[in-house]
Structure 1
Amino acid sequence: MTAVASRNVRTARMMALVAACMLALAFAAVPLYRAFCQLTGFDGTPLRAERAPGAVAGQIGVRFDANINAALPWKFEPVQETVRIAPGARTQILYRATNLTARTTTGQAVFNVTPETAGPYFSKIECFCFTEQTLKGGQSVDMPVVFYVDPKIKDDPDTKDIDEITLSYTFYPVETPATAR
């Protein structure tokens, strides 16, 4: 093999490797972005926590919003639309989901917090959004969310004047092998 042919083969292999890496990164982009947002609170994504730090003086309002993708035949709503809580206090609220069909369906909730600047201070300890939810035909379930608002929200110049945070969920259908046919 000539030197030119050898370089061409090496270049072709390098380009194939670069293309394979780009394809792998394309598939990994969504999970990596989601992990980055959950780790940093970027884009209004609430953080996950093990426990609440404990209540401090003051109050902040939290409003709960519920949405359903049109392809998921469920009714979904917060049991309580708003609460006033002390920053740092462990709080539990419920959302209710009802499968409006006779067949079993599965959904996955995605969430966000507004205003976005409050995202890094909103931490969830337990949430139905961490896993897929499967409801039998006609079944209704109450699904808990356990959270706290970090007291440091009042120390940040960008968030110290926030009086109300909105936690919003949207449920989407999950394609299972049986429903994907």
Structure 2
Amino acid sequence: MTEPRPADPAAARHRTVALACAALVAGMTGAAFAAVPFYDWFCRVTGYGGTTQVAAAAPGHVIDRAFEIRFDANVNGIPWRFRPEGGPVTVKAGEVATANYVIENLSDTETLGVAAYNVTPELAGYYFTKLVCFCFTEQKLAPRETVVVPVTFYVDPSIDQDRNLRSIRTITLSYTFFPAKSEKSKPVADAGTRKTPEKL
């Protein structure tokens, strides 16, 4: 009768290391899938990177502190002309205001675009709140079409309690349109006015 061979300590260590590596890879894969939605949620909650907030209603009160709101418009990789319709506006914190942007499709084909947005200074993103915005959906423009689209917003009065922003008097709202490819794109007619090429 032969005696059982003693367990190989090196083999046991190798199995432990292999299991640990497999668990680490699985954990990192899960973290990679969760990173984008978590980062998006984090930015929206904290205003990190100048991410603005979204609300369904105005705050209900206005304070005397006023801000100059400037508007910036850019395009990247899409044949559009994009600009604010007017210049800067001055609003009091809690006061609801609407500004229009003009989008023109310069090409002879239908194009889709989606807007990325932020505000500067970045810390103001936590208090800059949108009620209506063309940036919430992808936009589809016909060849040579021009649309005028609104953004309705307010600066939350609680900004006055933030010691880090006591000196802020100017906020810049910035948009950049990028190409989009989606079957669920929504025309901007719901949020603005459209002009056909014949009317231009």
Distance in 2 (CA, whole Å) between partners of 1:102 and 1:28 is: 40
Unaligned runs of 5+ in 2: 1-7, 184-200
- The AA in structure 2 aligned to 1:108 is V
Q: CA RMSD in A?
A: 2.2
Distance in 2 (CA, whole Å) between partners of 1:9 and 1:141 is: 64
Q: Deviations over 1:98-136 (max 9, x none)?
A: 111111111111111111121111111121112111111
Q: What is the CA distance between 1:28 and its match in structure 2?
A: 3.3
1:163 aligned to 147, 160, 169, which one?
Answer: 169
Number of aligned residues: 176
Q: For the structure 1 residues 100 and 24, does the alpha-carbon distance in structure 2 shift closer, same or farther, using more than 3 Å as the test?
A: farther
Q: Report the equivalent of 1:149.
A: 155
Percent identity, aligned pairs only, is 44
1:67 aligned to 69, 74, 96, which one?
Answer: 74
- Equivalent position SS for 2:95: coil
- The AA in structure 2 aligned to 1:62 is I
Larger Rg: 2
Distance in 1 (CA, whole Å) between partners of 2:43 and 2:16 is: 39
Distance in 1 (CA, whole Å) between partners of 2:87 and 2:26 is: 48
Q: For the structure 1 residues 28 and 102, does the alpha-carbon distance in structure 2 shift closer, same or farther, using more than 3 Å as the test?
A: farther
- The AA in structure 1 aligned to 2:132 is E
Q: Report the equivalent of 1:129.
A: 135
Q: Report the equivalent of 1:57.
A: 64
Q: What is the CA distance between 1:7 and its match in structure 2?
A: 7.7
Unaligned runs of 5+ in 1: none
Q: Report the equivalent of 2:34.
A: 28
Distance in 2 (CA, whole Å) between partners of 1:61 and 1:75 is: 25
Report if aligned partners of 1:44, 1:113 keep a CA contact under 8 Å in 2.
Answer: yes
